[in-house]
Amino acid sequence: MSRLACTLHTPAGRVFAKGTRHDDPQAWVYRHEARVTRRAPLAPGVLWEVDAGGWLLYGYEYIDGRHPDLTPGSNDLASLVRTLTVTSQAPWPEDLNKKPLHTRWTEFLPEDVPPGMQGRGLAHTDMSPHNMLMAGGGELLLLDWALSCPAPAWADTALTVPRLISAGHTPEQAESFAQQVPAYRTADPATVTTFARTVYTAWENWERTRPMPHRAALTSAAQTWATYRQNDQQTGAHALP
């Protein structure tokens, strides 16, 4: 989605560069991404920032890797658990001003937002496998922190669950995976169920109002997850419409 995204071949090695016009209304997103990436664990290093000639550009450490395989039985899943465990322990840098996740989702949440939804952890919030790279030594790095914001420590793990379902896991398998991350395992189950319903409600809304080719499958996976949690935790609950 960047105006410019490319690999630079320099005497010092390869650099991944991305950026946009200085007067682009979305230029602040690039600044935010770089500031968070500098503080995020298991993220590429930010090498430089250039604001010149009408362009705002950022150079990132070039990662020679591949996107992970999230299908059942993949060896990459163990690396993803390790990454989610590490990132879930990172606090939000309070000197960075950003709307928290529960505020971003205000229109989709119940009127009384559960306290457990109001966490101040550093959350990536866009857990697509295209934002992940398997690097050397089986380390899984998270890329593209543009949508990062304060959120519960378990939010990224929860947002990974519908991605796993979309990749072929059953809800039970996806939940079993998520339970390996301590922050998710100790989260209040009712709050996570509210979170699951909110994800489905938000994604269903975006599928209708801002359709994109990949959204239908993800919305279906989010619905499957929300229904599973609701039926598993509420006696006599019915499937979502």
pLDDT tens string 8-37? 999 999 999 999 999 999 999 999 999 999
pLDDT score for 234: 61
Q: Please report the pLDDT score of residue 238 as a whole number.
A: 39
Give residue 86's pLDDT: 98
Nearest CA to 69 out of 5, 129, 156, 139 is that of 129
The span from the CA of 226 to the CA of 71, in Å, is: 20
Strands (E), the chain: 4-10, 13-21, 46-52, 55-61, 121-123, 132-134, 140-142, 149-151
pLDDT in tens, 156-165: 999 999 999 9
- The stretch 209-227 carries a mean pLDDT of 91
pLDDT of 5 = 96
Encode pLDDT of 104-152 as tens digits.
Answer: 999 999 888 889 999 999 999 999 999 999 998 899 999 999 999 999 9
| 12-16, 110-114, 174-178, 233-237: least confident range | 233-237
Mean pLDDT for 197-225 is: 92
Query: Looking at the predicted structure, is the pLDDT value of residue 239 above 50?
Result: no
Q: How far apart are CA 31 and CA 182, in angstroms?
A: 31
Average pLDDT taken over every residue of the chain? 94
pLDDT for 200 beyond 70: yes
Are 122 and 42 spatial neighbours (Cβ–Cβ below 8 Å)? no
State residue 17 phi and psi, 5-degree precision. -115, 140
CA distances in angstroms from 64 to 40, 68, 133, 136, listed in the order given: 19, 13, 8, 8
> Can you give the pLDDT at residue 52?
96
In the chain, the domains with their CATH numbers are: 4-61 (3.30.200.20), 76-233 (3.90.1200.10)
d(CA 171, CA 192): 14
Percentage above 70 pLDDT, the chain: 97
